[in-house]
Structure 1
């Protein structure tokens, strides 16, 4: 066997080769730091030289040396046989270090599809957003009072589940929802918090789009985070997602960098 799953208290052994990804990908950094659930498989449990990280069933990271053929084959088999990925998953979203960029077919026989993503950062916030909420909607910070609402989005439920009344939201994560009566119309979550940087994710439900709800919820979350201990908010989006880019720029985010991500499509048996 040439693939081993590490326990969480062993994740630090992989930091030397995951560091180039963790430097600009908050999910990767948060898994290493223990503020985001995730799993890591390596070629050697004591002195790993290559590793595969998976979080939220679909976000994945590959780093270290691509030269260990036994590890590559074992990882390929574990993924193709769905031993380490969700059986219902349609594929993976993968980031890798430069060394792996030309060696992905060693693990994925069907070449992954590359696409570009933008990273935006916000350090200060002076946006006057309070009057932008349309009539008939209300804004609320995510807390346990929302548990009784029907059809809560999964990431809203996750914030509720992981943050007790005595937990620090600047470590566990926080967010805001826009409500229409008892329905969540839009929500924003800031999580993957490491070294006073948090990653923002937002969703507007289909019937409520194009009303500026995501802008309002994002503004509330950004203002809250930067005034309660964070010094940077990260906004990561597809380079072709013009709506997300417009919202980020409207909120004062500045383009920091562009990176390549790969879509790995699973071939159905």
Structure 2
């Protein structure tokens, strides 16, 4: 059996996730977005948090009900765990449907990020391109979601994103060709999502739009958290001032949705 966690249960399971630095965990524990499940409502021993494309498992991987949590995944998900035993359980249960890949983490220290440096980067836009804050006009452009269908996806609605989220877009001939926005939010900041259309890459657009978003966050006292799916993203992050903490294992689970 598994049970969805209410705010009181979330307080009980928060210590399970200490040491896991992904801010989307906080997004759920703090009640902003996502869902959490436990193996036992009264005395949870294992827990799962899912926000968007990511699921996190912690606690005792051999507790009664832990297998139900491991099977509580959609058809495609990125699973992140820290304990070796959880990794072994993922590989045992999902077998060939679990592909181990690398993601890259970064220090979450505001002093690593230089506002003057970021302001300079945000101003370096090629001729013919326009930098815009994502507002009701930008979210009405289909081109924003052609760049990435995931923009604002974790929010309840467009209105919810405009109220609680933030982002910037680069336009060319009236079309969005690159954007950076809050994939998720937590009390102290946001997790950044950034995508540039394939035909517009290597023009410095991602650097510009990411720097603009970071400046906006830092000026509001929010931390713009960055996590990288590949080495190109690592290089961009380092250019912006982030300090890498190295790679870590992630499981891409691609299997028909299971019903626990």
TM-score, normalised via structure 2 length: 0.82
User: Which of the residues 149, 152, 160 maps onto 1:162?
Assistant: 160
How do residues 6-17 of structure 1 correspond to structure 2 at under 5 angstroms? 6-7=5-6, 10-17=9-16
Structure 1 distance, partners of 2:7, 2:27, is 12
The corresponding residue for 2:42 is 46
Note if contact 1:140-1:176 (Cα within 8 Å) is conserved in structure 2: yes
Aligned to 2:105: 119
Q: Distance in 1 between matches of 2:6 and 2:251?
A: 27
Mapped to 1, the partners of 2:177 and 2:132 lie a distance apart of: 12
User: Partners in 1 of 2:224 and 2:257 — Cα distance?
Assistant: 38
The alignment status of 1:236 with 2:193, answered yes or no, reads no
Higher relative contact order (CA 8 A, sep 6+): 2
Deviation of residue 151 (structure 1)?
4.0
Compute the TM-score of the two structures, normalised by the length of structure 1.
0.80
Tell me the distance in 2 between the aligned counterparts of 1:10 and 1:75.
Answer: 15
**Is 1:72 paired with 2:57?**
no
Query: How many Å separate the matches in 2 of 1:263 and 1:149?
Result: 31
- Equivalenced residues, count: 245
Cα shift readout 1:94-113 (whole Å, capped 9, x = no counterpart): 11131413332454244733
Residue 49 of structure 1 and its aligned partner are, at CA, apart by 0.7
CA contact (8 A) 2:23 2:191 kept: yes
| 2:190 match: secondary structure | strand
Tell me the distance in 2 between the aligned counterparts of 1:183 and 1:133: 15
Query: Which ranges of structure 1 fall in alignment gaps of 5 or more residues?
Result: none
Decide whether the 8 Å contact of 2:103 with 2:247 is kept in 1: yes
Deviations 1:119-178, CA, capped at 9 Å, x for gaps: 2246232221244111111111112222432243244445643245xx4xxxx3311011
SS in 2 for 1:200: strand
Q: Which of 185, 191, 195 is equivalent to 1:203?
A: 195
CA contact (8 A) 1:142 1:156 kept: no
Partner of 1:95: 80
